Structure 1
Amino acid sequence: MNPRVRIYLSMAAVLVAVVLLFRETAFEVFGIWWRSDTFAHGLLVLPISAGLAWRARGRLEGLTPRPSLRALIPLSVAALGWLLGAMANAASVTHFFLALILMSAEVAVLGGQISRVLAFPLLFILFGVPIGEFLLPIMMDYTAEFTVSAVRASGVPVYQEGLHFVVPNGRWSVVEACSGVRYLIASLMVGTLYAYLTYRSLKRRVLFVLVALLVPVLANWLRAYMIVMLGYLSGNRIATGVDHLIYGWVFFGVVILLMFSVGGRWREDLDPEPACLPRQPRAPLSRGAAWARVAAVAVLLAALPWLGHRLELQGDASRVPTFAALQPQSPWALASRNFSGFKPSFEGFRSEQRLEYVNGSAQVGLYVAVYGQQTQGHELVHFRNMLLSPHDTVYSRRKVTNGPDSGHGHWLESVISGKNEIVLTWSGYWIDGHLLTNEYLAKALLLRARLLGKPDTSAFVTLWSSAMDEASAHAQLQAFYAAHGSQLLDHLNQLNPGP
């Protein structure tokens, strides 16, 4: 068999084996590619990687696959990372480490020489990892701040409430599609590919990738500013409907083409390739030793999904404890009806409580979402679970600071504005007897509980007060917490008492 044919067949066999062994994670990734506008580019990653590998076929002349024992080290690390991610129900972690498993397995089967030739096609697989959702709120905030500042600098008065702002003839909001995350991810992938194909020197490649990171962010800010100005100057006749989205993508396409045109002035792909250094001869590897290494890779990969399922916490989800409602302390009483439309955006919980208390004109709400026996779709820490959804058109977050110390950790204090109210919230994750506000630390504690064989019962808890101004809301919340704080912590401890 032709050696190059053996190389490509080996690569295809490894891809098929990894996808079959980790099919649940692989299907999750494919599902995200298929249904998400943000990560639709993932559908092109494997075909592009295969095309790049085929493009390098001339440099593979005379090479044959030689399984590498040293590649088992990164493969083992990637496998352990996938296992820990699976136990913690951290989808982004399992997706990332699945890509590393695939890359490491290819290196282990192909060997060092071939892998060096195919380094970029293999590394390109990382662009298929659907990660970047965590950037949404950050980039939405920056887009809103830049747009408001630029509009004001243009002489147009603007009233801003977080991600919402009002100009004299219209109201605008920075939503998920306006964040620029889609532009950033697409530009980074296309820019990296362009840099690899166009340049030979590492310096020029790195510089162009940095430009591909910076340009879409600036372009998205300018796009948002120009959309608002077009709407304002035209009396909202243009840039407010479907043409809003069309204009955005056309503008992005023009920016990318300009970036490529400028970058093409320093292209190196037309220069003759530098001569390759002669390969050092290697001691022959027996067929038995080669197959032993391949078998070691196969056994390790095959054992991981089984081990992951064996270590998953098993039990009856209906036996997860529920949060006991707080008994109102005089002069507080349970409200007969909801006084505010505010509610945290959480899903996949085993149970939830939403209670509201009144004391004369003072109004305080309590929300607790309880999670346990956590599996995919029933995770406390998930990118869809948040205090305030970015899609919310009524409320917007204005300020986030550290709240008071509960004795088990600090609350996260947020100031949220509504149409006719200010909502002040204290929120946090209750995990293993600790109150946390960092979602990464929360995931780590949940993983620790699972590794120790402890229940992963946990909760997200929010206290909020609604008033006409921030000072009044703060005073109401402090008064309620002074009367009910100890009882609240006791009830949370009944869910999971911690160490």
Structure 2
Amino acid sequence: MNREDNYSRGWRQSILAFVALFICVLFLFRNTFWGMVSIWLRSETFTHGFFVAPIVFWLVWRQRELISEKIPQVNFWFLIPLLTVIFFWSLGDLAFVNSATQLCAVALLVLLVPAIFGWSVASIIIFPLFFLFFSVPLGEFLFPQLMEWTANFTVFALRLSGVPVYREGLQFVIPSGNWSVVEACSGVRYLIASLTVGTLFAYLNYQSFHRRVIFVLISIIVPIFANWIRAYLIVMLGHFSGNKLAVGVDHIIYGWLFFGLVIILMFMVGVRWAEPSRVLTISADRRKIPPEVFYTIPLIALSCLTVVIISLPYLAEKFVYSKNSLHISRSEAPLILNTGWSLTPESSCAELKPIFKNTSIELNNCYTSNSDNVGLYIGYYHRQSYEKKLVSSDNVLVASNDRHWAPVGLTSGQAEAGSVRFSVKATELRNTTADGQLTDARLLVWQVYWINGMLTKSDYLAKIYSVMQRLLGQRDDSAVIILYTEKKNDGKSILLLNNFLNNNFDIVDEYLKNGF
């Protein structure tokens, strides 16, 4: 067999092995990939995910001639990062963190390229491989910070324009009406769209690394500032038009038109510094190709080891979950507290319904003592999954577009339950009317996570505690405990909630430990 035949044979076998392992990863991690697709389908923020794979294929196809000059060689060293990615995927799966498992699943596909074809081939298409990560629906964690920044800038710009503003949290009032910053105003959609398209633009139009980095940074900064200006202009349009413009569907339409104009201008400016593509020199022959460029045995060995590595999570799953599958009986009997606190009709407390989805059991009671009312909400989770989990971006105290309550302050509070002291999320809510008008009614809300007996206010620690419990073979029972009462300026609200905990936390804790 001559050198040319060895070359063609090597490529055929490498491509066959890659396709087989690619399909294997898609099959073994099908739930993870389907989770990505389902988010693309339901969220306009991540619809661009459908276009990432075709773009990657096109980018690789553009380099086909240069790739064809390389010799595929298996690289066993990439089994180490492959094993590392599998480890982190397993941790993400134990904590039911979609973004972690999805990033790791995409990383597995990317690592197959240098492992099967070698670094010489992978280095040619390093950007297309990197671009594949844009398919991961990631960015919702930016909502709170971007909403805060948008509110800060809008209020600042309004005051600079001579418009008086009264602000509480993400709500603000101007003479012509009330406004609030919600998720759609955060600019996350603009930021993700700009970063995706801007990164691709930089790769196609620039050759130097520093120009590419600068343009990517610009594609991050510009949409953030543009969104601030968009929010300010929309409020001003509503203000000067007597709330006839930019307050309904046209609010969204004006936003996208403005964003589209900004992106076009950004690209027009970027093109002025475009660099011509480098001319690739391809040799006319392959005299440097050794007589034996490929070995079947190493490829088979690498493929088998890869299959073993990507199958490890399912072996671990059986080991961990088998210990975590104990059935527990649940009681739906009412929660009876200590003497002095009696269960009363829910109408005695302010109407507050936290949004915690797919709970195993849910309780929302009102208790009274000496004419003082305290609301107690418990969202209890057992045998958690990706669809049914305690800590999730979908689980919130109140939605940003809630018609009854608006958060106007978030701090950290210290709670006492006998000898036990722990931190809680302390949120102040202000009541709104059906037409969005603020009222004077306020609630003080304390929130804490209960993870099989451990308490924390942190979303991240709650995830870590949950993973620890599952790794130790313990139950994954978790709950959110929320206390709320009417906010009083003399500080009695804090004393009331602490008094409630001191008298009743042991009962609530035992109630949860017994399976609720």
Structure-2-length-normalised TM-score: 0.88
- In the alignment, which residue of structure 1 is the partner of 2:354? 344
The C-alpha deviation readout for 1:333-367, integer Å capped at 9, x for no partner, is: 43323231222211111112111123455332111
Bigger shift: residues 20-29 or 278-287: 278-287
Shift of the 196–489 alpha-carbon distance from structure 1 to 2, 3 Å rule, reads: farther
Equivalent residue runs for 1:108-123 within 5 Å: 108-123=115-130
Task: Tell me the number of residue pairs that the alignment of Structure 1 and Structure 2 aligns.
Answer: 492
> Would the aligned equivalents of 1:431 and 1:458 in 2 still touch at CA under 8 Å?
yes
Q: How does 1:56-455 map to 2 (within 5 A)?
A: 56-268=63-275, 270-273=276-279, 284-305=293-314, 307-312=316-321, 314-315=324-325, 319=329, 325-327=335-337, 329-330=339-340, 332-338=341-347, 339-359=349-369, 362-406=372-416, 407-419=420-432, 420=439, 421-455=441-475
Q: Deviations over 1:83-121 (max 9, x none)?
A: 222222222221111111111123212211111111111
Q: How does 1:27-46 map to 2 (within 5 A)?
A: 27-46=34-53
Q: Is the 8 A contact 2:415 2:498 kept in 1?
A: no
- Spell out, residue by residue over 1:449-471, the C-alpha distance to the aligned partner (whole angstroms, 9 max, x if none): 0010001112100111124x4x2
Give the conservation status (yes or no) of the 8 Å contact 1:42–1:129. Answer: yes
Contact persistence 1:401–1:414 (CA under 8 A) = yes
Q: CA 1:83 to 1:387, structure 2 compared with 1: closer, same or farther past 3 Å?
A: same
Contact 2:407 2:428 in 1 (8 A): yes
Cα distance, 1:54–1:417 mapped onto 2, change above 3 Å: same
Q: Which among 487, 493, 496 is matched to residue 479 of structure 1?
A: 496
Gaps of 5+ in 2: 1-7, 433-438
Q: Which amino acid aligns with 2:472?
A: L
- What TM-score do the two structures reach when normalised by structure 1? 0.91
**Cα distance 1:170–1:438, how it changes in 2: closer, same or farther (>3 A)?**
same
Amino acid at match of 2:60: A
- Quick one: which amino acid aligns to residue 378 of structure 2? V
**Is the Cα–Cα contact under 8 Å of residues 323 and 495 in structure 1 kept in the other structure?**
no
Closer, same or farther: CA 149–320 of 1 in aligned 2, 3 Å:
farther
Q: Which residue of 1 aligns with 2:5?
A: none
**Which amino acid in the other structure matches residue 457 of structure 2?**
T
% same residue = 37
Deviation at 1:218, TM superposition (A): 0.7
Cα offset, 1:138, TM superposition: 1.9
Alignment partners' CA distance in 2, 1:3 and 1:58: 16
The structure-2 alpha-carbon separation of the partners of 1:476 and 1:237, relative to structure 1 and needing over 3 Å to count, comes to closer
Residue 15 (structure 1) aligned with residue 22 (structure 2)? yes
* 1:2-37 alpha-carbon deviations (Å, 9 max, x no partner): 877777666554433321221111111111111111
Give the stretch that moved more between structures: 135-144 or 69-78.
135-144
Question: Kindly tell me: are residues 358 and 149 of structure 1, through their superposed partners in 2, closer, same or farther at Cα, counting changes over 3 Å?
Answer: farther
Distance 1:123 1:8, change over 3 A: farther
Please give the alpha-carbon distance, in whole angstroms, between the structure 1 residues aligned to 2:146 and 2:105. 27
Q: Which amino acid aligns with 2:251?
A: H
Range with greater deviation from structure 2 (314-323 or 66-75)? 314-323
* Kept after mapping to 2: 8 A contact 1:431/1:496: no
Task: Give 1:395 shift.
Answer: 1.8
Q: Secondary structure at the match of 2:362?
A: strand
CA distance in 2, matches of 1:97, 1:291: 24
Instruction: Give the secondary-structure state (helix, strand or coil) at the position aligned to 2:484.
Output: strand
Moved more, 79-88 or 228-237: 79-88
Distance 1:281 1:451 in 2: 51
- Cα deviation for residue 493 of structure 1 reads 4.4
For the 8 Å contact 1:409–1:434, the answer to whether it is kept is no
Residue pair 2:336, 2:343 contacting (<8 A) in 1 also? no
- The answer to whether the 8 A contact 2:449-2:478 is kept is yes
**Aligned-partner Cα distance in 2 for 1:317–1:424:** 37
Sort the Cα spacing of 1:408 and 1:317 in 2 relative to 1 into closer, same or farther, 3 A.
farther
Moved more, 17-26 or 7-16: 7-16
Task: Check 1:403–1:101 CA distance in 2 against 1; reply closer, same or farther (3 A cut).
Answer: same
* Cα distance in 2 for residues equivalent to 1:280 and 1:79: 38
Q: Which moved more, 1:315-324 or 1:477-486?
A: 315-324
Residue 384 of structure 1, CA deviation: 0.7
Structure 1 pair 329/150, CA: closer, same or farther in 2 (3 Å)? farther
Amino acid at match of 1:475: K
Question: Does the 8 Å contact 1:161/1:396 carry over to 2?
Answer: no
The more displaced of 39-48 and 2-11 is 2-11
Cα distance in 1 for residues equivalent to 2:337 and 2:507: 12
Which amino acid is the alignment partner of residue 461 of structure 1? Answer: I
Residue 204 of structure 1 aligns to which amino acid in structure 2? R
Give the number of the structure with larger relative contact order, counting CA–CA contacts within 8 Å between residues 6 or more apart: 2
Query: Structure 2: how far apart are the matches of 1:207 and 1:6?
Result: 40
User: By how many angstroms is 1:201 displaced?
Assistant: 1.2
Instruction: Rate the CA distance shift 1:77–1:453 in 2: closer, same or farther, 3 A.
Output: same
SS of 2:46 mapped into structure 1: coil
* Structure 1 residue 490 displacement after superposition: 4.2
Give the secondary structure class of the aligned counterpart of 2:123: helix
- In the TM superposition, residue 48 of structure 1 has moved relative to its aligned partner by 0.8
Q: Secondary structure at the match of 2:76?
A: coil
Alignment gaps of 5+ in structure 1: none
Deviation at 1:181, TM superposition (A): 0.6
Counterpart of 2:212, as a letter, is: R
Q: Deviations over 1:122-166 (max 9, x none)?
A: 111111111111111221222122212211221122232322222
User: How far, CA to CA, are the matches of 1:135 and 1:359 in structure 2?
Assistant: 41
8 Å contact 2:449–2:457 — kept in the other structure?
A: yes
1:403 Cα offset (Å)? 0.6
Checking the alignment, whether the CA contact within 8 Å between 1:75 and 1:104 is kept in structure 2 is yes
Task: Please give the alpha-carbon distance, in whole angstroms, between the structure 1 residues aligned to 2:327 and 2:146.
Answer: 37
Secondary structure in 1 aligned to 2:450? strand
